[in-house]
Amino acid sequence: MKKTLLFIAILFFTVGTTNAQSRRNKKKADTETAKWNYDIECIGEAKAGVYTLKVFSILRDESIARVQASKNAVHAVIFQGINAQGTKCTQKPALARSPNLETEFEEFFNVFFESKGKKDLNNFSKYVNVIDGVTDRIKVSKKEYRIGTLVTVNVALLRKTLENENIIKSLDSGF
């Protein structure tokens, strides 16, 4: 009897710790997100509407590299555009037509970039596929690392979603 009670107590404790850990991770990821501290390198475009990108995220914790790189890639595609990379990659204009889009739709993007994992289909992660979580890892300060992650972003699908949500205008809007 005592053994069973002990087992149940340990089980509850483990579940609780795991939950707390995942909450901490989520909080960490959201804190890192707010900084938008990253660099993007275009690797190529295998087919129309899917970009292959290498994201360099400046992070304190390597364990959130995958999720953070996904957010950064989507953020760059929407707001910054992707620079050309020699003959390897042509310039990709940002999906946002206005420089104030992020502040105009702050509420939408706060929810959009929330770290919910792949279960929420409306979340940023729906549009990203992480090919290699950590390709490079350089210590840039006492506590920070510059972590490279290889991802693909389904820009065509992302554009459709933002058009349907009336965040960006479609090419044929007004006609």
Partner 1 sequence: MKLKKQTLVIIITLLAVNVSFSQAKKPTLMVVPADTWCFENGYTQTINNQGVIKDIPLYQMALQRNSDLALVITQINGLLSERGFSAKDLSAELKKVEAKAAEQELRASKNTGAEVSETPVDALKKTAKADIILEMSWAINDNGLEKQVTFILRGLDAYTGKQIAETSGTGAPDFSSPLPLLLEEAVSSRIDKFLASLQTTFDGWFDKGREVNLGIRVWDDWEYDLESEDFGDDELGFLIENWLNDNCVNGSYTTMDAEATMMNFEQVRIPMTYERNGKIRGMDARTWAKGLSAYLKDMGIINKLTISGLGEATLYLGSK
- HSE (side-chain half, CA atoms, 13 Å) at 6: 3
Residue 130 CB coordination number (10 Å): 18
Binds partner 1 by CB under 8 A, chosen from 27, 118, 137, 169: 169
Beta strand segments in 14-173, E: 38-47, 50-59, 128-139, 145-154
Which residue's CB is nearer to partner 1, number 40 or number 147?
A: 40
Displacement of CA 53 from its chain's centroid (Å): 12
Q: How far is the CB of 89 from partner 1 (least distance, A)?
A: 7
Site string for partner 1, 90-129 (x = CB under 8 A): xxxx---x--------------------------------
Considering only residues 4 through 63, tell me which ones interact with partner 1, judged by CB under 8 A: 44-45, 47-49
Longest dimension (CA), the chain: 74
Which residue's CB is nearer to partner 1, number 43 or number 58?
A: 43
Q: How far is the CB of 157 from partner 1 (least distance, A)?
A: 11
Distance CA 76, CA 79 (A): 5
Q: How far is the CB of 105 from partner 1 (least distance, A)?
A: 18
Which residue's CB is nearer to partner 1, number 43 or number 65?
A: 43
Residue closest to 83 by CA, chosen among 121, 114, 43 = 43
Q: How far is the CB of 156 from partner 1 (least distance, A)?
A: 7
DSSP code for 89: B
Distance CA 107, CA 90 (A): 32
Q: How far is the CB of 154 from partner 1 (least distance, A)?
A: 13
Quick check: 164 binds partner 1 (CB under 8 A)?
A: no
Query: Site residues (CB under 8 A) for partner 1?
Result: 44-45, 47-49, 86-93, 97, 155-156, 169-175
